[in-house]
Structure 1
Amino acid sequence: MFRPLPFFIGLRYTRAKRRNHFISFISLISMLGLTLGVMVMILVLSVMNGFDRELRTRILGMVPHATISSEQPMDDWQTLATRLEEHPQVVAAAPFIQLQGMLTHNGSVAPVLVSGVIPEAEKHVSIIEQHMTQGALSDLQDGEFGIIIGELIAKRFGVQVGDKLTFVLPEASVTPAGVFPRLKRFTVAGVFKVGAELDSSLAMIHAGDAARLSRWQPGQMQGLRVKLDDLFQAPKVAWDLALTLPGNYYAQDWTRTHGNLFAAIRMEKTMIGLLLLLIVAVAAFNIISTLVMVVTDKKADIAILRTLGASPGTIMGIFMVQGSVIGVIGTLAGGVLGVLAAWNVSAMVAGLESLFGIQFLSSDVYFISYLPSQLIWSDVALICLTALGMSFAATLYPAWRASRTEPAEALRYD
């Protein structure tokens, strides 16, 4: 079988047991460093991708992609919703009324954003129905003053379905006995859990009950919540929708409320990727020191090959093959270990939390309560190709130096 001479000799040098064990040790360290760098890069970028995905699907599955509102309550929201849904980017539209206030129970207080919704329409624009742990979204009935709360609120108050909560509005009522805050008793109709910060700050009631609390006429709504086919087109689509509707309407999209969070994650992913790339670069360029020592150790062999007719290009190819083998093995090993780690890191972290009885990510501090991971094969390919490119570049100088070896000078003292 035909094998090019540089490839054949380069592989022999790689497999051979060297007399200088220090060179073998440095080669092993270079290979392990490259493996570790590639593995860590794949793992960390997969975790960052997981955070991005979870925030997109969970938080942006609960908060509006875009909202269309007006200064006055909407009387005929059905007609507006139908008109919005005619836009090719709009998946669905649902009415809402937002109220800010506090929930109280047995002396405990929690700030909350209450959304008044119509259950039949809300299920088309929100993922809450798929994340109910107690009750159902359809349990919200007009006039019954039921409320659906997040799991963290339920744990904080120690309540479940059927218990009573008091909602305090930031308004005052003047009575003969004095000025008192506006209060309304609600019955817990359900509990949801999306595994995000929203579990501690969001609640839902029926839009009819929200209209009564806002002292509006039955059927009036504050605005329309819009779900889009491509949420990253939200700023443009929301602006287009506001311009095309008759009357004075203004639009708001998720980039104003949560856009800074996604921008921070993307910036962190870029910066962490660049920092981890330095690990790969250090490991790759350790190949330079390894090959320089190999060239010094193999000067006699190089001289003999040159006297037998090997060209400088052949000598250069031999050591490029040897260095590239180190890079290929280290990169492939790191790629395989990184993929396996990215697939199993969520389960491993959950196992450690269960074993030691601690929680590394708390919803009270972070936006999600577990470590997500999403493996993107384009990231794996880019990391591996970058590592291979660095490894190949690291072989050029030592191989060029070997090709410049003069046979007479190398054999003078042998």
Structure 2
Amino acid sequence: MLPFELLVGLRYTHAKRRNHFISFISIVSMAGIALGVMALIVVLSVMNGFQEELRARILGVAAHLEISGPADRLADWRGVLAQAQRNKEVLSGAPYVNAQGMLANGDMVRGAIIRGVLPELESRVADFAQHMKAGKLADLRPGDFGIVLGAELARALNVYPGDKLVLLTPQGNITPAGVMPRVKQFTVTGIFEAGMFEYDSGLALIHLQDAQKLLRLGNDVSGVRLKLDELFRAPLVTRELSQSLSGHYYLTDWTQSHANFFRAVAIEKRMMFLILLLIVAVAAFNIVSTLVMAVTDKQSDIAILRTLGAKPASIMAIFIVQGAFIGVFGTLLGVVSGVLLALNVETVVPFIERLAGMDLFPADVYYISQLPSKLVWDDVGIIGGVSLLISLVATLYPSWRASRINPAEALRYE
């Protein structure tokens, strides 16, 4: 049999009241809590999805870990790679040459990062094969001076596969007329689209041997890119390799080279949680108002219960049950609606864009042109638990005031 405090408290939540304004405040409280919980779940899910999508796209073009030599030159890259692969966390590696240059097609000129790669090894550390829109990475052959461009970079230069363009590098040739930049004609063999404007508009790939010839590196490279078994162990692997590699090298993992992106997302996620939690807190203040008015309205009922032997703790429990019902119902409503919206946000946003006739996330402004979502059930549990806790705390003071009512004073004018 249920305790009478629970029965009376639940009866107060649905019984017909003389003061309908109390019912209105209760509904507003439930709606406020539901809205706050729903907003928290959706926003955190979108931020989780954004963080995962950003990481996937960055590491689809970048590497988990990079090893470079002094002055950005590495002589024996095969020996360094062999040493690195002794670590069980290292799955594969590939050499690279990094340089800056200017790409020109007639009057159109764009600056870009020029990366020299070995196509057969590069596919083991990056996902360019999945992002190719035209041509293949394997089309880069030594001596052919082919080049693969990001989609936005190709669009800016107005070039297509098979077209010619000119690459100018800052490393100059000394001539009687002075220092002249090195100029070489390349043929566009492919176009990739990684989905990140930073790479699509500023990265070009050429064959490693062509880059070595152009920059006069001989057999040297800029460094070695590594792919790890578990990307989140990159800082630990960096420390292990720094101790095991024989020689002087610079080691940089993805958490260092792209720390600003992920720190910004993590900080923003925490701040949005606190800000949106205020919606739930404001709704919880409505619970206080509801219970204060309910206590005033039920003074005679409280007095009668006290004269029948109810203890102050029982009176307090009755109004805690009434307030907790508002919090539980509002939280459940918010959790259900928030989960449904978070799971379908990739469908809802395009619908809103079509309805509004505008692009909410243009690729030239945002790193990601589509709104991703990843529902983390731990976040849902934390949000629901915090909402219930705030709702429960909001019931304590009005319930305590109800337990302090003097029966004789309450019944004096009845």
Bucket of the pairwise TM-score, normalised by the shorter protein: over 0.9
Q: Distance in 2 between matches of 1:139 and 1:74?
A: 26
Matches within 5 A, 1:211-290: 211-217=212-218, 219-290=219-290
Structure 1 match to 2:47: 48
8 Å CA contact 2:118–2:208 kept in 1: the answer is yes
Structure 2 match to 1:173: 173
Structure 2 match to 1:404: 404
Q: Distance in 2 between matches of 1:143 and 1:353?
A: 48
* Alpha-carbon distance, 1:357 to partner: 4.6
The residue identity in structure 2 corresponding to 1:20 is N
Q: Distance in 2 between matches of 1:341 and 1:104?
A: 47
Change (3 A) 1:270 1:390: same
8 Å CA contact 2:101–2:112 kept in 1: the answer is yes
2:104 is the counterpart of 1:104? yes
Structure 2 spans left out of the alignment, 5+ residues: none
8 Å CA contact 2:60–2:194 kept in 1: the answer is no
8 Å CA contact 1:67–1:238 kept in 2: the answer is no
- Aligned to 1:96, what secondary structure does the other structure show? strand
Structure 2 match to 1:35: 34
* Alpha-carbon distance, 1:354 to partner: 4.3
The residue identity in structure 2 corresponding to 1:70 is G
8 Å CA contact 2:115–2:204 kept in 1: the answer is yes
Decide which moves more: 36-45 or 71-80: 71-80
Decide which moves more: 120-129 or 236-245: 236-245
Structure 1 match to 2:13: 14
Structure 1 match to 2:346: 346
The residue identity in structure 2 corresponding to 1:37 is G
Structure 1 match to 2:23: 24
* Alpha-carbon distance, 1:363 to partner: 3.1
The residue identity in structure 2 corresponding to 1:23 is I
Q: Distance in 1 between matches of 2:142 and 2:386?
A: 60
Change (3 A) 1:353 1:106: farther
8 Å CA contact 1:68–1:242 kept in 2: the answer is no
8 Å CA contact 1:170–1:181 kept in 2: the answer is yes
* Alpha-carbon distance, 1:16 to partner: 1.3
The residue identity in structure 1 corresponding to 2:28 is I
Structure 1 spans left out of the alignment, 5+ residues: none
- Aligned to 1:221, what secondary structure does the other structure show? coil
* Alpha-carbon distance, 1:213 to partner: 0.8
* Alpha-carbon distance, 1:42 to partner: 0.9
Could you list the per-position Cα deviations for residues 129-173 of structure 1 after superposition, in whole angstroms to 9, with x for gaps in the alignment?
212122222222222212111111122223222222222211333
8 Å CA contact 1:167–1:183 kept in 2: the answer is yes
2:150 is the counterpart of 1:147? no
* Alpha-carbon distance, 1:12 to partner: 1.1
Structure 2 match to 1:378: 378
Structure 2 match to 1:119: 119
The residue identity in structure 1 corresponding to 2:57 is R
Change (3 A) 1:81 1:274: same
8 Å CA contact 2:132–2:193 kept in 1: the answer is yes
8 Å CA contact 1:103–1:168 kept in 2: the answer is yes
The residue identity in structure 1 corresponding to 2:101 is G
* Alpha-carbon distance, 1:400 to partner: 1.3
- Aligned to 2:240, what secondary structure does the other structure show? helix
Could you list the per-position Cα deviations for residues 24-83 of structure 1 after superposition, in whole angstroms to 9, with x for gaps in the alignment?
111111111101111111111111112211121111231122211223754542332122
Decide which moves more: 288-297 or 225-234: 225-234
8 Å CA contact 1:68–1:238 kept in 2: the answer is no
Q: Distance in 2 between matches of 1:194 and 1:38?
A: 35
- Aligned to 2:336, what secondary structure does the other structure show? helix
Amino-acid identity (%): 53
The residue identity in structure 1 corresponding to 2:273 is G
- Aligned to 1:216, what secondary structure does the other structure show? coil
TM value normalised by structure 2: 0.94
Q: Distance in 2 between matches of 1:28 and 1:207?
A: 67
Change (3 A) 1:65 1:40: same
8 Å CA contact 2:50–2:372 kept in 1: the answer is yes
Structure 2 match to 1:332: 332
Q: Distance in 2 between matches of 1:172 and 1:94?
A: 28
Decide which moves more: 332-341 or 346-355: 346-355
8 Å CA contact 1:65–1:231 kept in 2: the answer is yes
Matches within 5 A, 1:312-331: 312-331=312-331
8 Å CA contact 2:137–2:190 kept in 1: the answer is yes
Decide which moves more: 73-82 or 302-311: 73-82
The residue identity in structure 1 corresponding to 2:200 is D
* Alpha-carbon distance, 1:106 to partner: 3.1
